[in-house]
Amino acid sequence: MGLIFKDANEKPVDAKGARLRATLLSVPFGLLGIFALVLLLHDGLLGGLSRQKTMGLLSAVVACGGFIALIFGITGKKQDLQAPAKAAPASAWLARKDWAGGQIASSSRKAVLLLWIFVTFWCVGSALICLMVVPVQLQQGNRLALMALVFPVIGLAIIGFALSTSRAWRRFNRSIFRMGSFPAPAGGTLAGAIEVPARLRPEHGWHVRLSCVRRTVTGASNNRQSSDQVLWEDERWLRADLPQTGAGTTRVPVFFKLPDGLPESGTATGDGIHWKLEASAKLRGPSFNALFDVPVFKLPETPAAGEDPTLACQLSLDELQKQIRSLVQVKDLAGGGKAFEFPAARNPGFASGASVICLIWTVIIGLLAWKHAPAPLLLVLTAVDALMVAYVFDLWFRRSRVVVNSQGVSVERAWIGFQQQEQIPAKAIRNIAADVGATAGHMIYHDLRAYTRDGKEFLLAKNLNNQPEAHWLARQMTAALKAAPKIEPTAEAKPAEPRE
């Protein structure tokens, strides 16, 4: 009974060893399930699968999945039964070993491992489709089967990205964030330094960002999906030539003022609130990127904030726009006010990724239509595809021009030959702000919005990929809105010339 229930004389369960044993026990069932799934897909696509054989293979797949879930469930149950015997930590932030002592190692190793697992499954699935399905379909004269070759092509691109990410991880995997005070107090400051075990001089400076993320995990244990919602963020751009404090080490200072109204960090690594500190820099070869899960908690007394060590090495706005190569243009108008021009296709990487996803979705719908899928399913998928096409079209061809003066805000949007205009009087505007818009992976894009006194909001510009620039643009628009118009003296107002 010691396999499930804790015996009185049993030694404490080693979590790492228990996971290893569970993984080894699960390997045979996993291989058997994969083999049954491959047979099911192969025979089913070739049309040589009877109902009895189908049920047998499905039963094998489900049984293997059930055995794997049972093995990990028993392991987790043993750890849960042992948990009450352990003394509760004096403080919540001491529950995690990776926070001990205020020295936090970069968490990019797990991300690299998950990336390679995804690459493996993608490549194995693509190879099975290309080797088992495509040749048979071509022999039958079905040339549309060649469309399946898009999956290994995407796999090659993913492998290239994974190799680049792995090279960067091997070069910077020992990066550590040393906190000035442990933990960081909510409403206080997060201070410290990121120590990189290499002398680095990036091409365009250092980008340091702190964000508060609510992570939600849904689905069963064998099909979990997580989604992140950014509740708050702040970022700094620092100069490339940071002061060096040690041989072979680069020290990146960190200083952020923390808001008081946001939730504190969760102690679990999955579902819950996470405060993420990310540092990145563009280098020759693998670029630097490090991610730290930092503890932010409410304390009885908030320590006094010290001096900001990043002030001396922060980039000015003009330097920042040169570093990020901003395409947004700001022009002063002759009669007062400012014009802000946002050209189309400002984010080609974001637009290209969305275009690839939209193309794959469209190909899938075409294959389903060719195979005479049910009409209601095709209708729903086509409606979703139409929304995706519209979104991609907006990313590539939307351009905006915002004119702000003391009379109000004028917004002109254009998509190739179509134009749209909006006028917002100055007395109706409550404020202009930059808010979090779309997110793509670790990238966060911001939107500029005007909020009126009656609760309405108007979109001025979208998909700005740099937070300092977005907030600076919002301040420039607010200043132009409140500025008094310049009045040129007329002929009647000119002083009379003295008579001789």
Q: Break the chain into its structural domains and give their ranges.
A: 1-86, 338-347+396-482
- Tokens matching residue 458: 């108007």
Q: How far apart are CA 442 and CA 447, in angstroms?
A: 17
Q: CB of 398 within 8 A of CB of 341? A: no
Q: How far apart are CA 252 and CA 279, in angstroms?
A: 9
Q: Which of 25-34, 92-101, 410-419 has the highest mean pLDDT?
A: 410-419
In this prediction, residue 103 carries a pLDDT of 77
Asked if pLDDT for residue 187 goes beyond 60, the answer is: yes
- Tokens matching residue 464: 């700005």
In this prediction, residue 154 carries a pLDDT of 77
In this prediction, residue 26 carries a pLDDT of 65
In this prediction, residue 43 carries a pLDDT of 60
C-alpha radius of gyration, the chain, whole number:
29
- Tokens matching residue 317: 């706005």
Q: What is the pTM of this model?
A: 0.52
**Among 1-5, 150-154, 456-460, 488-492, whose mean pLDDT is lowest?**
1-5
Asked if pLDDT for residue 215 goes beyond 80, the answer is: yes
For CA atoms 185, 188, 190, 191, give the dihedral sign: negative
Q: Which of 160-169, 217-226, 233-242 has the highest mean pLDDT?
A: 233-242
Q: CB of 316 within 8 A of CB of 131? A: no
In this prediction, residue 52 carries a pLDDT of 61
Mean pLDDT of the chain: 74
Three-state DSSP class for residue 451: strand
Mean pLDDT of 484-500: 45
Per-residue pLDDT tens over the stretch 344-369 = 888 888 888 888 888 888 887 887 78
* DSSP labels, 310-340: TGGGBPPHHHHHHHHT---EEEE-TTSSEEE
SS3 percent helix, strand, coil of the chain, rounded to 5, is 45, 25, 30
CATH code reported for the domain at 338-347+396-482: 2.30.29
Sequence-distant (≥ 6) Cβ neighbours of residue 45 within 8 angstroms: 132, 133
In this prediction, residue 485 carries a pLDDT of 55
Can you tell me which residue has the tokens 């390679």?
A: 116
Per-residue pLDDT tens over the stretch 268-304 = 767 788 898 988 887 776 777 788 888 888 888 777 7
The pLDDT > 90 percentage for the chain reads 1
